[in-house]
Amino acid sequence: MINAGLDHVLIKPVARGYANYTPNFLQNTVGNFFGNLADIWTALNNYLQLKPREGTMDVGRVLINSTVGLAGLADVASPLGLPKHEEDFGQTLGVWGVKSGPYVVLPVFGPSTMRDTFGKPVDLYGDPLGQIDMKTSYAWTARAVRLVDDRARALPTTDLIEQAALDPYQFVRDAYLQRREARVRDALQNDGK
């Protein structure tokens, strides 16, 4: 209820304005920059999941995008054959055998499981933005811009859910649980490579 209200009143309108009025090249640049930062944590999680090939690819992405891609503003690693991965500590816990537990919806953070909830503080600590002193306006601005950019990227999906789902809560819950389980299974299947 809190998330829906906050999203409806503040986050979604700002994200829609950003999506509608910010030039696409600038949106891509912002997404690339934050994606490059996320690749650092993804690499570590890939290593923790015993996926050294993927972790090394993520390190390569960071090195290439941070240099040739001008501090990550451009994604030059993907066309070079280094695909983007998305890994977090909740997935790492799943690979380590921790059961997902019940589905929960966290205020501000949204859908989760108990396992992912316990992984969230580690993800926040591992996030390079988490290392910036929160007393600075830069830290708050960077987090706000990333939140708006992430929400703008999700607009087509959430608009579709609002239009098509008879029970949006159940739809989001089922989709979230299936997606998380598939990501953990993917990591376990890749372990044999």
The tens digit of pLDDT for each residue in 111-152 reads 999 999 999 999 999 999 888 887 788 888 999 999 999 999
> What pLDDT, on a 0 to 100 scale, did the predictor assign at position 121?
96
Residue 190: pLDDT band by 50, 70, 90 thresholds? low
Mean pLDDT of the chain: 93
Residue 164 · residue 71 · CB < 8 Å: no
- Which of the two residues, 164 and 69, has the higher pLDDT score? 69
> What pLDDT, on a 0 to 100 scale, did the predictor assign at position 192?
46
Q: What is the percent of the chain with per-residue pLDDT over 70, rounded to a whole number? A: 96
> What pLDDT, on a 0 to 100 scale, did the predictor assign at position 191?
53
> What pLDDT, on a 0 to 100 scale, did the predictor assign at position 131?
83
Q: What is the pLDDT of residues 37-52, one digit of tens each?
A: 999 999 999 999 999 9
> What pLDDT, on a 0 to 100 scale, did the predictor assign at position 1?
67
Sign of CA dihedral 92, 72, 78, 111: positive
CA distance readout (Å), 47 to 76, 107, 181, 190: 23, 30, 19, 12
